[in-house]
Amino acid sequence: MVSNRLPYTLRRAGDAWKVEKSAGGLATAMGPILRKTEGVWVGWSGDQSGVTDARRAGLLARWAERERYVAVDLPPETARGFYEGFSNQTLWPLFHNFPYLFRFDPADWDAYREANRLFCEAVLEQLRPGDMVWVHDYQLMLLPRLLREAAPEVRVGFFLHIPFPPSASFRILPRREELLRGLLGADLIAFHTHRYLQHFRDSVLRLLGTPSHMDKVEAGGRTVRLEALPIGIAPEEFTGLLDDDEKTGRMLTEMRERFRCCKVLLAVDRLDYTKGIPERLRAFRQLLTVSPESRGKVVLIQVAVPSRERIPMYGELRREVDGLVGKINGEFSTPGWTPIVYLRRNLPRAELAALYALADVAWISPLRDGLNLVAKEYVACQRDGAGVLLLSEFAGAAAEMGEAIMVNPYDEGRTAESVARALALPLSERRERMAALHRRVTHNNVFAWGERFIGTLREAASARTRHAAALPAELPAADAARAFREAESRLLLLDYDGTLVGYAKRPQDAKPPAELIRLLARLAQTPATTAAIVSGRSRGDIEGWFGDVRGLWLAAEHGAVIRPPGSREWEYSYTGYSPDWKRDVYPYLEHYADRTPGSFVEEKEFSLVWHYRMSDPEFGEWLANELAHDLEGMLADTPLRAVRGQKSVEVRPMWADKGEVMNRLTRECPAPAFLLAAGDDKTDEDLFARLPATAWTIHVGENQSRARFRLSGPGQVCLLLEELVAAGRVEVSRKTA
């Protein structure tokens, strides 16, 4: 288990050390799981004092020994930038839909990265083969990838406790792609709700260009499982107190007596602007204003636990809430009644349990909340089924607590009406609603949640292993170089886009850099070596870029035309071709280009291509499917075919396929002792299919392919070519010697 904080927090008090226990639901749930699996919990001690002494070291050593809590030490400046900075002033407001509160400081980002790196080191120190690592929450979004890089086989799951925002908000975040890639290092990424999961998928699509399924995304050659898994509570933590703890029982009796004449509304929140406390207080004021009969008959108990007090925004909120409470109480109190009982402190759990049992209505109205545990804790304590849950539609818990009375906390007038309605709800209806909620809360408890997470992680990790086994093997570059060196004759067929250079938004921007041209020239001039570019591009593009490279064969339009080295003439691989078909197909593609902003039609000699790389990715993909499907019907009885490329749909004659190039080249270089072909997309598969089983066929990318080997991208392909050129040179110098 890795989370920002441990169940213990270390504090410097004067010149002594104080250990505070924060036994939240997570600690309760993870306790038994960790004991069963002999796991450890890695987290930051919370200490920002910068003091290191023997007593401190002794305390932390005892935590590790007795509880298996391993404390990560963060230098105070790193801790500040990581925790108060990037985590709580950048990510927290943005993920909760408060973009105007968000601030970004590059130094905080550096601290966040550094802290994640230190967490990674601490985890690696504990890691044993076969271990599973469960990473928690927004403070550690880079950790899954760091772990994956350091220990590629490790099983990593990630759970996000806060909302994942809509992609329109998420993209505001500087460094957003790094965070997504950080998360995608995991085998499983889980959220409280499907909505958050969908938001995440949308960001992955729009920012990384990676499409996904409802339950998984392919990234970095691995399948990452996605899951909606709302956290539960440990009901007994509260009901146990009500049943067995004498003090809790006494408190409840006293409170019942004290509020005998009143209906009790209860709100329990961390003092955080996401929780909608001022909005609630204003709605309450409205209730008292419009329903004078409620005065003296209803009381709002607002528990507000101070939180993140070093961040200025939280101080402002505290002053605002203090002010509102004072104002409302000043305005409405009578000698015998105070409308708001304001408890601004951390209450003992026993007192909280008594309050949950006491309240007639739990008023839970965050402006945005990942889930909200208080809603579930209240339900757990309402075993007599008489209480009412009033819940914000913006709490993740709303997705699974449909029997609550839902409110929009931004609509203070209607919220006040809903409170009045909740107070007047007949007992039978209250019972019915609460019974359904109670059943779900006790059933989907935190233990079930933990087991489901771990079970899904186990499954996801073994699916990853199966998927990796089905991919082409990683190319053993040294073996390829040796085979190249020893071969009497060599033939290399290289695709261009996605293989030698990466994709650009506009095809004309993906120009070959000068060093690539020099590399290809050296390759083509290596003795006993025939090298060809085999591209789907127009001959104009290919000739313009590579026309002067001595010794290089050029094949354009998927091999429809081919130019031998030294020649200025292109040979047609098929005679009798007529471009008349374009007249019928062009308007059809043009219609799609008109419908899809950012897309366009490219005309080549032998083909027409609809490109949609710059369009809305979801819309583009959807239309591409539709277009390919329509064309299939339209072209059924013609010698043409429609092919899905990388963000494109291309119509071309059936005979124009990269496999054709082989026929021409084997005339030049019959039975080469070393044969290599590299390519990244479907059209390259045609070529791989024509080559003998012994050929060095290389898929560039992370998909399934009929190639024997794979390389991750153009960078690796160029490195390989460098190695081959060097190997060829060795051979030449050996022969000259």
- Determine which residue in the list 374, 398, 471, 531 makes contact with ligand GDG, applying CB under 6 A: 374
Closer by beta carbon to ligand GDG, 231 or else 725:
231
Task: Give the three-class secondary structure for 205.
Answer: helix
- Residue 62 beta carbon to ligand GDG: minimum distance, rounded to whole angstroms: 24
- Residue 349 beta carbon to ligand GDG: minimum distance, rounded to whole angstroms: 4
- Residue 242 beta carbon to ligand GDG: minimum distance, rounded to whole angstroms: 14
Closer by beta carbon to ligand GDG, 448 or else 528:
448
Amino acid letter, 221: G
- Determine which residue in the list 370, 409, 645, 672 makes contact with ligand GDG, applying CB under 6 A: 370
Q: What is the CA radius of gyration of the chain?
A: 33
* Residue 96, CA distances (Å) to 92, 157, 618 in order: 6, 23, 25
Residues shown for the chain: 737
Closer by beta carbon to ligand GDG, 389 or else 487:
389
Q: Would the CA dihedral through 377, 394, 139, 306 be positive or negative?
A: negative
- Determine which residue in the list 47, 377, 412, 684 makes contact with ligand GDG, applying CB under 6 A: 377
* Residue 352, CA distances (Å) to 60, 303, 349, 398 in order: 30, 9, 5, 22
Residue window 301-320: x/- pattern of binding to ligand GDG, with contact defined by CB under 6 A: --x-x---------------
- Determine which residue in the list 9, 12, 24, 98 makes contact with ligand GDG, applying CB under 6 A: 24
* Catalytic residue chosen out of the listed positions 495, 497, 541, 686: 495
Residue 185 touches ligand GDG, criterion: CB under 6 A: no
Closest CA to 359 of 342, 346, 378: 378
Candidate ranges 167-175, 372-380, 436-444, 506-514; the one touching ligand GDG (CB under 6 A):
372-380
- Residue 26 beta carbon to ligand GDG: minimum distance, rounded to whole angstroms: 7
Footprint on residues 601-660 left by ligand GDG (CB under 6 A): none
Closer by beta carbon to ligand GDG, 162 or else 687:
162
Cβ partners under 8 Å of residue 232, min gap 6: 25, 29, 376, 441, 444, 445, 446, 447, 448, 449
- Residue 23 beta carbon to ligand GDG: minimum distance, rounded to whole angstroms: 8
- Residue 37 beta carbon to ligand GDG: minimum distance, rounded to whole angstroms: 21
Task: Give the three-class secondary structure for 290.
Answer: helix
Candidate ranges 366-374, 443-451, 506-514, 614-622; the one touching ligand GDG (CB under 6 A):
366-374
Phi/psi for 716 (5° steps) reads -70, -35
Residue 94 touches ligand GDG, criterion: CB under 6 A: no
Closer by beta carbon to ligand GDG, 85 or else 232:
232
- Residue 441 beta carbon to ligand GDG: minimum distance, rounded to whole angstroms: 13
Q: How many helices (H) does the chain have, and how many strands (E)?
A: 26, 30
Give the full edge-to-edge strand order of the sheet including 608-611.
Answer: 600-603, 608-611, 648-653, 640-645
Is the distance from CB of 24 to CB of 8 less than 8 angstroms? no
Residue 403 touches ligand GDG, criterion: CB under 6 A: no
- Residue 505 beta carbon to ligand GDG: minimum distance, rounded to whole angstroms: 38
Tokens of 165: 């925002």
**Which residue's structure tokens are 């957003």?**
176
Footprint on residues 320-349 left by ligand GDG (CB under 6 A): 346-347, 349
To the query of whether residue 495 is one of the catalytic residues in this protein, the response is: yes
Helix residue ranges per DSSP H, 425-546:
427-443, 446-470, 477-486, 514-524, 539-546
**Angle at the Cα of 230 (from 182 to 176), degrees rounded to 5?**
25
Q: How far apart are CA 90 and CA 85, in angstroms?
A: 7
Residue 640, beta-bridge partner list: 653
- Residue 502 beta carbon to ligand GDG: minimum distance, rounded to whole angstroms: 39
Closer by beta carbon to ligand GDG, 161 or else 641:
161
Size of the site for ligand GDG (CB under 6 A): 20
Tokens of 450: 């933990």
Our measurement of the distance from residue 514's CA atom to the centroid of its chain's CA atoms, rounded to an integer in Å, reads 37
Phi-psi category of residue 186: left, alpha or beta, with phi > 0 → left and psi -120 to 50 → alpha: beta
Long-range residue pairs from 559-567, CB within 8 A, at least 24 positions apart, any chain: 559/534, 559/656, 559/657, 559/658, 559/659, 559/660, 559/661, 559/664, 560/605, 560/606, 560/652, 560/653, 560/655, 560/656, 560/660, 561/605, 561/606, 562/661, 562/664, 563/539, 564/668, 565/524
Footprint on residues 217-246 left by ligand GDG (CB under 6 A): 231
Closer by beta carbon to ligand GDG, 352 or else 480:
352
Footprint on residues 146-165 left by ligand GDG (CB under 6 A): 161-162
Closest CA to 608 of 636, 570, 640: 640
- Determine which residue in the list 179, 207, 267, 268 makes contact with ligand GDG, applying CB under 6 A: 268
Helix residue ranges per DSSP H, 491-537:
514-524
Closer by beta carbon to ligand GDG, 377 or else 650:
377
Q: How far apart are CA 309 and CA 84, in angstroms?
A: 10
- Determine which residue in the list 183, 188, 301, 352 makes contact with ligand GDG, applying CB under 6 A: 352
Closer by beta carbon to ligand GDG, 193 or else 203:
193
Closer by beta carbon to ligand GDG, 377 or else 657:
377
- Determine which residue in the list 176, 270, 344, 383 makes contact with ligand GDG, applying CB under 6 A: 270
Phi/psi for 598 (5° steps) reads 95, -10
Footprint on residues 521-580 left by ligand GDG (CB under 6 A): none
Closer by beta carbon to ligand GDG, 402 or else 513:
402
Residue 195 touches ligand GDG, criterion: CB under 6 A: no
Tokens of 618: 């979801």
Footprint on residues 665-724 left by ligand GDG (CB under 6 A): none
Cβ partners under 8 Å of residue 195, min gap 6: 399
- Determine which residue in the list 47, 369, 557, 702 makes contact with ligand GDG, applying CB under 6 A: 369
- Residue 230 beta carbon to ligand GDG: minimum distance, rounded to whole angstroms: 8
Catalytic residues: 495
> Which residues lie near ligand GDG (CB under 6 A)?
24-25, 161-162, 231, 268, 270, 303, 305, 346-347, 349, 352, 369-374, 377
